[in-house]
Amino acid sequence: MTALLYTLGVVFFVLAILVSIGLHELGHMVPAKKFGAKVTQYFIGFGPTVWSKQVGETEYGIKAVPLGGYVKIVGMLPPGAAELAEPAGFDEHGEPVFRVRQSNTGLFTQLVSDARTAEWELVQPGDEERLFYRLPAWKKIVVMAAGPTVNIAIALALFAPLFASYGNPNDVRILPEVADVSACVVPAAEDQRVCREDDPVAPAYAAGLQEGDELVSFNGVPVTDWEVLQKQIRGNEDGRAEIVVRRDGTERTLVTNTTVTARPTSAEDQTLVEVGFLGVTPATELATGGLGYTLGQMGRMTVDTVEALGQLPVKVWGVAKAIVGLEERDPQGPVSIVGGGRLAGEAVSHEVAPTTDKLAFLVMLVAGFNFFIGMFNFVPLLPLDGGHIAGAAYEGLRRWVARLRRRPDPGHVDVARLLPVAYVVGLALLVMGVVLIVGDLVVPVSLTG
- Residues with a catalytic annotation lie at 25
Q: Which of 74, 83, 71, 81 is nearest to 135 (CA)?
A: 74
Read off φ and ψ for residue 448, nearest 5 degrees: -90, 0
Helix axes 2-34, 355-377, angle to 10 degrees: 30
**Separation between Cα atoms, residue 247 and residue 81, nearest integer Å:** 83
| Pairing relationship of beta strands 259-264 and 214-218 according to DSSP bridges | unpaired
**Separation between Cα atoms, residue 271 and residue 417, nearest integer Å:** 55
